[in-house]
Structure 1
């Protein structure tokens, strides 16, 4: 297995992800892959697919831009920007969440583990009406102590 090629295939998949291509997750993920982010922890392609399908229901024009990658052995670390607009709140302002993913590949070059790291408070909650003001207040209080 060529981890650099598997990583590039994954990068291409995510940068071109669309509602129609979600069904092609099996081309880059193992059937029993595990996925974890600040809101989900699931195993298996149907559950991972459900998460990505929901992204298109909940958000307007979601897409990933991979900004960096480090490949080592059978794993890779990707940094990214997730760009979208809210469907229910501020529907006009483009949003960006910055984060990173740790992925592990099997011998066939398929992802067996995908773990996303991003700060839900800073990158998401602070951008929401009402809750955003409260989160910024909490952050200010914590930093002034």
Structure 2
């Protein structure tokens, strides 16, 4: 391609990386991210590959079987939008399984490496509403603020 990067192919490969993510594949983060890349989600805002790796290592420690299902993606300039579903295994005992729909905005540099990855998802619906008293309060608040 005369030295140019096929960004659509890079986005496809990046989405596939998350769809097949394992603890072993974290070794590939250096290939995918720039050394000062930023990763942000509702609980983390970190920069640099070692910090990004730490976020995913933590995920593997607290989630028994994390899985990302990439539903679709779109590309606009150097920015990709990836819609996904995250699950972390079956409900076991008192531990309720997570089932989260979300979207990532991923900005690529000219070489096709990730400069910034920002996840957007609703932690209240995914986590907080599962806490007995807090969840009841959030559900009541949602009903009160709903237009329906």
For the aligned pair, the TM-score class normalised by the smaller chain equals 0.7 to 0.9
Matched, 1:16 2:8: no
* Superposition misfits of 4+ residues, deviation over 3 angstroms: 85-91, 128-131, 141-144
Q: What is the root-mean-square deviation of aligned Cα atoms in Å? A: 2.1
| Equivalent of residue 113 in structure 2, options 96, 110, 114 | 110
Match of 2:140 in 1: 137
Contact 2:91 2:97 survives alignment (8 Å): no
Count matched residues: 143
Q: Secondary structure of the equivalent of 1:52? A: helix
- Distance in 1, Cα, partners of 2:93 & 2:117: 29
Where structure 2 has 5 or more consecutive residues not aligned to the other structure, the ranges are: none
After TM superposition, the score normalised by the length of structure 2 is 0.86
The superposition leaves residues 3-59 of structure 1 with CA deviations (integer Å, 9 ceiling, x where unpaired) of: 101101101110110111112111211111011111111110001000011001011
Match of 2:61 in 1: 57
After TM superposition, the score normalised by the length of structure 1 is 0.88
Give 1:86 deviation, angstroms.
7.7
Q: How does 1:85-124 map to 2 (within 5 A)?
A: 85=89, 90-91=94-95, 94-124=97-127
